[in-house]
Amino acid sequence: MNQRKKQPEQTRKVILDAADYEFSLQGYSGSGLNGIISRAGLTKGALFHHFPDKRALAKGWIEERLAPAIDALWITPLDVMDSLDFFRNFCRERFTGLQPDDAVSALSAVTAELAARDEVLGEALEDVFTTWRAAVAGLLERGKSSGWIHPSIQPANEAALIVAAFVGFSVTAQATRDPEIRRLAFTALDAYLETLRAQ
Amino acid sequence: MNQRKKQPEQTRKVILDAADYEFSLQGYSGSGLNGIISRAGLTKGALFHHFPDKRALAKGWIEERLAPAIDALWITPLDVMDSLDFFRNFCRERFTGLQPDDAVSALSAVTAELAARDEVLGEALEDVFTTWRAAVAGLLERGKSSGWIHPSIQPANEAALIVAAFVGFSVTAQATRDPEIRRLAFTALDAYLETLRAQ
């Protein structure tokens, strides 16, 4: 009985895994439902039972795969940080680790592709950015309280810039073959992060 | 005779205009050759005479439409600048003017979509970014010579960050309905630009 109850959940998981692979690599327009079904090893009926159309599947992917991946990369790790040097090292690791198919690149690509054109998916994507910015702003706010971030800093502003910069890095790095040139931008961001320090 | 010679060039222009409209709005995967042909009011044969396939058309679009548009927005205007305040105001205007279908948004979207996956188009896109970064770095270099940019500034690093930040803004702004939240990121960038000033 338990076994049978679990099946729909397992099917949903398999569908979202396949959607994650396709949407992360090919974007929304570039991914076909047929490719996702074939990767999942399921029938169209099984897919439509869980997600009535491609948009519903993309919304499920954003909420149940993309958002948790951003959470794991950018939100949970901030909880334990207690110094600007820690945060700068963390940003350096996140920058060095950028890959064309990682969650930040997938989020950037799908937002660039459709956030302005699709209200439902745009709102789901906006939620991911709002949570990401709030986590960075929360860290900087704690830094102000603990005395390692300058009191004049406005955490919400800096968080919005830091998130935009990482989105921009994830895009421009894909067009830049030379890793040395990729690093230039991070060197400048790192110098900017240093300006947030309490004197 | 002159009239007849001009026709192929006119046809090419009409094709690139239609491609510009479709690629800017729908991205690469989202744009079909049929839609471009129908918008251009031409036959498939006329299109294939100028561009053998969709990739060749996208390369033509990047080189002959997207690159000149970035040039007009971000490169030519820098020639006449002679102060950090002028550049900060210019950045503010470029930020305020960001639109989901403008050249920076189109460049960001198509780069996020395919720069890492398509070597030919990736190189064409890399050229656009290289030229854009070089123009910003050149301005900052002139600022150092003229004494309005701090001598310790590394223009290539700052230029890479400024370009990445604008790409990031063009993406995140599309997922952010509230114009006030969009402005927070620019306020932080503006404060960062101020740190480049010669003391």
- Is A12 within a domain? no
How many CA atoms lie less than 13 Å away from B166 in the CB half-sphere?
A: 29
Comparing CA positions, the residue from B136, B116, B141, B140 lying closest to residue B126 is B116
**B185 to A161: CB separation less than 8 angstroms, yes or no:** yes
Element (H, E) at A172: helix A155-172
Q: In whole angstroms, what is the distance from residue A197 CA to residue A143 CA?
A: 9
Please indicate, yes or no, if residue B48 is contained in any of the structural domains.
no
pLDDT grade, residue B19 (50/70/90)?
A: very high
Query: Residue A116's domain is classified under what CATH number?
Result: 1.10.357
Q: Which of chain B's residues have a Cβ under 8 Å away from the Cβ of A122?
A: 174-175, 177
**Residues of B with Cβ-Cβ distance to A191 under 8 angstroms:** 157
Q: Which residues of A touch B157 (CB under 8 A)?
A: 184-185, 187-188, 191
Contact A132, A69 (CB under 8 A): no
- Given this model, what pLDDT does residue B194 score? 95
* CB A185 within 8 Å of CB B180: no
Residues of A in contact with B168 (CB under 8 A): 108, 163-169, 171
B30/A192 Cβ within 8 A: no
Q: Are B55 and B120 in contact (CB under 8 A)?
A: yes
A3 domain-assigned: no
* Single-letter code of the amino acid located at B55: R
Which pLDDT value is given to residue B164? 95
Domain assignment present for B31: no
Give the model's pLDDT for residue A102. Answer: 92
Residue A167 at interface with chain B, using a CB cutoff of 8 Å: yes
Beta bridge partners of B149: B197
> For residue B196, what is the nearest residue in chain A, using CA coordinates?
A192
**Number of CB pairs, chain A paired with chain B, less than 8 A apart:** 171
- Residue of B39, B10, B176, B27 lying closest to B111 (CA atoms): B27
Q: How many domains does the structure of chain A reveal?
A: 1
Number of helices (H) and strands (E), helices first, in chain A?
A: 10, 0
Nearest to B133 by CA among B86, B125, B65, B90: B125
Amino acid letter, residue B163: V
- pLDDT tens digits along B155-164: 999 999 999 9
The residue type at A166: F
pLDDT at B123 over 80: yes
Give the nearest partner residue to A174 out of B116, B171, B176, using CB atoms.
Answer: B116
Return residues 111-130 of A near B (CB < 8 Å).
Answer: 111-113, 115-117, 122, 125-126, 128-129
Give residue A58's domain range: 54-194
CB contacts, 8 Å: A125 with chain B: 175
Task: Flag whether A10 is in a domain.
Answer: no
| Residue written as token pair 């079909």 | B32
What band does B153 get if pLDDT is binned at 50, 70 and 90? Answer: very high
Chain B residues 24-63 within an 8 A CB cutoff of chain A: 25-30
Which among B126, B154, B158 has CB closest to A175? B126
User: For residues B113 and A30, what is the distance between their CA atoms, to the nearest angstrom?
Assistant: 9
Q: Which two structure tokens, joined as six digits, stand for A161?
A: 């810039």
For residue B192, name the pLDDT band (cuts at 50, 70, 90). Answer: very high
Taking the CA of residue B26 as centre, how many other CA atoms within 13 Å lie in the half-sphere pointing to its CB? Answer: 17
- Closest C-alpha to A125, from A105, A101, A108: A108
- Hey, is the C-beta of A184 within 8 angstroms of any chain B C-beta? yes
CA A160 from chain centre, in angstroms, equals 14
Average pLDDT over all residues of chain B: 93
Nearest to B164 among A129, A159, A165 (CB): A165
pLDDT digits (tens, 9 = 90+) for B51-95: 999 999 999 999 999 999 999 999 999 999 999 999 999 999 999
| B174: nearest CA partner in chain A | A116
From chain A, the residues in CB contact with B125 under 8 A are: 175
Nearest CB to A165: which of B29, B126, B161? B161
Altogether, the residues listed in chain A come to a count of 199
User: Domain for residue B69, yes or no?
Assistant: yes
> What is residue B30's DSSP assignment?
T
Output the six-digit token pair for A22.
């396709």
Separation CA A128–CA A109 (nearest Å): 14
A153: contact with B, CB 8 A cutoff: no
pLDDT at B1: 44
Q: Which residues of chain B have a CB within 8 Å of the CB of A177?
A: 122, 126
Whether residue B105 lies within 8 A of chain A, CB to CB, comes out as yes
Contact A165 B170 (CB under 8 A): no
Rounded mean pLDDT for each run of 10 residues along chain A, 199 residues in total: 66 96 92 95 94 97 98 96 96 91 94 91 96 98 97 96 95 88 90 92
Q: Does A181 reside within a domain?
A: yes
The answer to whether the CB atoms of B164 and A158 lie below 8 A apart is: no
A119-146 helix and A84-96 helix, angle to the nearest 10 degrees: 150
Note whether residue B185 is domain-resident.
yes
- Confidence tier at B5 by pLDDT (50, 70, 90): low
* The pLDDT of residue B179: 84
pLDDT, tens digit (0-9, with 9 covering 90-100), for A112-154? 998 888 999 999 999 999 999 999 999 999 999 999 999 999 9
Residue B178 pLDDT level (bands cut at 50, 70, 90): confident
> What are the backbone dihedrals phi and psi of residue A152, each rounded to the nearest 5 degrees, phi first?
-80, -10
Instruction: Concatenate the DSSP letters of all residues of B73-94 into one string.
Output: IIIGGGGG--SHHHHHHHHHHH
Q: What is the pTM of this model?
A: 0.93
Q: Residues B84, B148: contact at Cβ < 8 Å?
A: yes
Q: What tokens does A163 get?
A: 């998130």
